Structure 1
Amino acid sequence: MSYFLPESAPVLMAARGLALAHPGIVEVNSAPLYLRARAADPGRRVALVSGGGSGHEPLHTGLLGRGGLDAVCPGEVFASPHNRQIYEASAAVAKSEGVLLVVKNYTGDVINFQIAAERLRHDGIPVATVLVDDDLATDSADSATGRRGTAATVVVEKLLGAAADRGASLAELQELGTRVVAQSRSVAVAARAQTSPTTTAPAFTLEPGDLDYGVGIHGERGTRTIARPAVDDLVRRMTDDLLDSLPEGSDEVLALVNGLGATTELELHAVSSLLHDRLVERGLRPAVTIAGTYTAALDMAGFSLTLTRLDEGWVDLWTAPTETPLTLPRTVRAAGTEAAPADDTTARRPAAATAPAAARTPSGRIVLDRYAEVVAQVRDNLTKLDQLVGDGDFGDNLSGGVRRAVRLADETGIEGTAALAEAFLNDVGGTSGPLFGLLFKDLASAEPGDGQAPSVAALAEAAAAASAAINRVGGARVGDCTLVDALVPAAESLAAVPGGEPAGELAEAPLTTAAQAAIRGALSTASLRPRRGRASYVGDHAIGVPDPGALAVALLFTTLAEVYEPTWATRLPAPGHLTTI
């Protein structure tokens, strides 16, 4: 985002752009700069005015209009607006009973809004202030400044906007806003700093695998740096911290998951699901759950959680209609209703098939568990390779599918490649998921079902059948830079073994030889110009990068060799070495 701000008057240009996009709602005053609602509700007796540094959009400007704010005063990026902006905007929109100023608790904002308030009072305009100070990370008895104002500002402005449209007085609005602030807390985390508009570099650096806990919306560092936990553990920690800080009260809450600028809707909605579950565990009812980017910190990669304990009537204020550039979700969860469970895979799965005896082989389970270890070890390497030639999802797709297969084996007794086949064919999407499902399905047919090792002949037949099936479905052939470039050499190596002896620790080590052939085939894809899949879109940029799918096939045959030919398999390269370029 920060790469493309105009060099001259970026905030004014953005204000003009917003007004062009919403001509019936927003108008711009350029000197001094403020934005005002074109059509406020005629029932208002008090105008609502807010503002702050730019870079937090859609905060403030997105809530301009009916059901929201009457005027917004934007400062420069991360800088307070000038008191003249606030004074003139407030004077321009003041109603019969004056103006309420909504102020985030930052020193520059507080000083400039208070000076504007003094000027308004001198002119005889009634004025009051609501100070938003919801940030848990800056809640310290040693601080004279107090908590920062962050994403709870969205909740405050929405509820006040609805109350103002209902004709609330200045004193009533100030009292309501003060109560909403008191019953709201927020905390934010970040994995990457925002881009500096002046240097176009991250404003601060974090080591890979670290998070800043307690960051601010002006790009401030967190109060501490922590090793990045699993997301569900992180959400649990943030939720517990918020609930420990919230005052006692109603068990009905509003939960806001807010992106800091570079966090995707996919991530935010997933976090909101985890947050909902944590709140229910703690005996609370999330009547309103919102996920989206509402208070950004330019393009910081992170998110915040805000909880507000709801008093009687506040849900009605939240669901009141608005006509603003930003449309906030207004649907409320009725008492007694819950979201779908986080993982209903088992409930959806057909009676799997109480695994046929042929699928329950001890050796097959060893293969599954070892392949799961290998894939977990190289997931990040495969992701990096796929980012160079595709969309970067292969590592997660493969590891996610393997984890599902392990769960399936634990729950149903299906083992080995049979569990992999069912997991990948039924639950793993994208291009690679179903294709690997076909491969695992054919390989499963080679398992004898008596706890013994599969025969070389059966494996050769299964690998050839899988190659043929993948060709029928997707058209891939050797030389197209796909998983087939590793699968076919392995199949041909197995087929060349005379007599089809069992795959054990034999002098010729057929599985180790097949794994070597698969590895050579996989590595050879680095010299190919891809002709299939997403890698084909990047042309010569893919040259020098081995195909991640082919490497995953090579790792599968390496796993078979490790399980059935442990002595000979020691000559094979380590998985991490094989997947690093």
Structure 2
Amino acid sequence: MSYFLPETDPVLTAARGLALAHPGVVAVHTGPLFLRARDPHPARRVGLVSGGGSGHEPLHTGLLGRGGLDAVCPGEIFASPHNGQIYAAGTAAAKDGGVLFIVKNYTGDVINFQIAAERLRHDGIPVASVLVDDDLATDAEDSATGRRGTAATVVLEKLLGAAADRGASLEELAELGTRIVARSRSVAVAARAQTSPATAAPAFTLEPGVLDYGVGIHGERGTRALARPAAGDLVRRMTDDLLDALPEGPDDVLAVVNGLGGTTELELHALGALLSGELAARGLRPAQLVVGTFTAALDMAGFSLTLTRLEEGWSELWAAPTETPLVLPRPASGAAAESGAAQQSGTGAVPQRAAPAPQEPTAAAPQGTGGRAVLDRYAEIVTQVRDNLTQLDQLVGDGDFGDNLTGGVRRAVKLADESGSEGLAALAQAFLDDVGGTSGPLFGLLFQHLAAAPGADGGAEAQGAPPLAELAGAAEAAHAAIHRVGGARPGDCTLVDALAPAAESLASSAAEGAAEEAPLTSAAQAAIRGALGTASVRPRRGRASYVGDHALGVPDPGALAVALLFAALADVHEPAMAARLPAPGYLTVR
């Protein structure tokens, strides 16, 4: 898989290729990147916008067009789109009735769509969201993150697309979407991991004859390993688990057999026959069996099963016609034509908002001394440990953190070079505007608050360490902002586990005044201890929470990146004392 990706801008290049293959359906916008339906249904009163990390195709771009989505925001591979993409797409797709966001339950997606929704509401555009959380493998009482959003997203987008074409309102679509999600559950297994684009090797290894049960669509490890059973026994087990987790309701179900990218059509259709038989044996009626690759995990050799209990009228929504790149199986009866003729009357043609959306303005970088010593030192450290962060993230997530962090820091260096802005302000602008995934907005908030502390960058005006009270206040403000947006607390195994002790250490040093000899070094030591402590904690938030005990022994990469930032601050302002800090060799698996 990864051997054939372009070396530069693979996601943008693929988006352009999709538009070239479907010129009357898909339009590509850049600066920021999103894709838009060229010819939405004129009866639509609400625009539908979705998106997520690339590597899951044909989700979401395959459902772009009439009967589907109005706009799609593709992030980098396995990384959420950033809020700037979503804001621009929402502005372009919104109708007079507003815009509905369809969001898979991953921390980065939730945060970035939430920030974009706040920006659209500030512009006077009505916004609602539907959160997809169908993955039963991550339905754990001790997880604050909740179930992941996986292949039921296809069902949701198809049904909501049909309802939107009938002129449903924002409130009606949001309520329908919530019901669909509540009545859908999925579970996935894998026999081989996906190929990592960073290493061109499998992201994790399985012993021969072993399956990972409960894997995620970003290549997250399963919740448990199984000796490989016969296919019929495996489907029976998955069906039992799905029905145990599925809420009670009608006997009519929509059944989806979804390939994860490396499973053949021969296998998928055989699995579909086995699933249909299991459902019939339990007295359930598969109103539609949907077989294919709809939500991939790059080239993972595996599959997922999704069941949705159908309410009255949902079969007709599924049968409604579409004009999208992905052609979903529909009943062979005349239901599609009847559904198309059943449009609600009186909706009229709804004019679209102007598109493409203009490049969103970014705040001007604060002018000052051009201090960038901390940026340069942080860039040096991050470049040094990039491969270590990648390795750690592959063990607990999808392996993209090292690339995302390094890419954002490089953008900040370029921005500082071109504009002469302060280093921390350049980091804030780069991460808030250009870096997707969870790391983008959260690290952007951290950099933004630290940039407000005078002298923190190490510029000419900073004589020694920056004023301690201001820096302590900035760190605590960053901690508070990140908690408001993401909800993480110390002990959840996230970047907060390093940030909170660092902020507390600075506050304590500020209270002591001159009694603290090296406050920044002490804060860095606290951050390092907090980051390393995440290796002994079962994650409760973030993507690592999906892999359960597989994360034990692995320090959280985001927490380590925060520790490295405070180490860079100490290196710049307290070089003699900071020499006592451990070298970044602690970025390894215990």
| Structure 2 runs not aligned, ≥5 long | 335-590
- Is 2:32 the counterpart of 1:32? yes
1:318 aligns with 2:318: yes
Question: Deviation at 1:198?
Answer: 1.0
Which residue of structure 2 lines up, in the alignment, with residue 345 of structure 1?
none
Segments ≥4 residues shifted beyond 4 Å: none
SS at match of 2:271: helix
User: Which residue number in structure 2 is paired with residue 17 of structure 1?
Assistant: 17
Structure 1: gaps spanning 5 or more residues: 335-581
CA contact (8 A) 1:287 1:333 kept: no
Letter in 2 for 1:112: N
Q: Distance in 1 between matches of 2:161 and 2:151?
A: 16
Secondary structure of the residue aligned to 2:91 is helix
Q: CA deviation at 1:97?
A: 0.5
- Mapping of 1:184-223 within 5 angstroms? 184-223=184-223
Please say if residues 2 and 299 of structure 1, whose CA atoms lie closer than 8 Å, have aligned partners that are also in contact.
no
Q: Report the AA paired with residue 274 of structure 2.
A: L
Q: Tell me the C-alpha RMSD between the 2 structures.
A: 1.2
Give a deviation string over 1:285-341, Cα, whole Å, max 9, x none: 00010110000000000000000000000000000000000000011699xxxxxxx
1:530 is aligned to: none
Which aligned pairs between 1:234-245 and structure 2 lie closer than 5 A?
234-245=234-245
Q: What per-residue deviation string (whole Å, max 9, x for no partner) do you get for residues 73-103 of structure 1? A: 0000000000000000110111010000000
Q: Please tell me the residue identity of whatever aligns with 2:151.
A: A
Residue 51 of structure 1, CA deviation = 0.1
Cα separation, 1, equivalents of 2:65 and 2:291: 22
Q: How many angstroms apart in 1 are the aligned matches of 2:23 and 2:137?
A: 39
Alpha-carbon distance in 2 for matches of 1:214, 1:31: 37
Corresponding position of 2:281: 281
SS at match of 1:305: strand
Which residue does 1:92 correspond to in 2? 92
Q: Which residue of 2 aligns with 1:432?
A: none
By relative contact order (CA 8 Å, sep 6+), the higher-ranking structure is 2
- 2:109 corresponding residue in structure 1: 109
Counterpart Cα distance in 1 of 2:203 and 2:290 = 28
Counterparts of 2:196 and 2:56, CA distance in 1? 14
Alignment of 1:102-501 (within 5 A): 102-331=102-331
Cα deviation code 1:94-144 (max 9, x no counterpart)? 101000000000000000000000000000000000000000100011110
Work out the CA distance in 1 between the residues paired with 2:25 and 2:71. Answer: 11
Q: Which residue in the other structure is 1:54 paired with?
A: 54
Shift of 1:2: 1.8
The size of the alignment, in residue pairs, is: 335
Displacement after TM superposition at 1:4 (Å)? 1.0
Which secondary structure state, in structure 2, belongs to the residue aligned with residue 134 of structure 1?
coil
SS of corresponding position for 2:65: coil
**How far apart are residue 30 of structure 1 and its match?**
1.3
CA-CA distance at 1:177 after TM superposition: 0.4
Shift of 1:16: 0.2
CA distance in 2, matches of 1:2, 1:183: 36
The SS at the match of 1:207 is coil
Q: Could you say which residue in structure 2 is the equivalent of 1:45?
A: 45
Task: Name the % identity.
Answer: 80
What TM-score comes out, normalization by structure 1 length?
Answer: 0.57
Preserved CA contact (<8 Å) 1:52 1:75: yes
Give 1:185's aligned amino acid. Answer: R
Equivalence for 1:72: 72
Contact 1:58–1:294 under 8 Å retained in 2? yes
AA of the residue aligned to 1:162: A
* Separation (CA, whole Å) in 1 of partners of 2:228 and 2:125: 51
Q: Which has the larger radius of gyration?
A: 1
Q: Secondary structure at the match of 1:113?
A: helix
Residue identity matched to 1:91 = T
CA distance in 2, matches of 1:186, 1:31: 35
**Given the superposition, is the C-alpha separation of residues 254 and 333 from structure 1 closer, same or farther in structure 2, using an over 3 Å criterion?**
farther
TM-score, normalising length: structure 2: 0.56
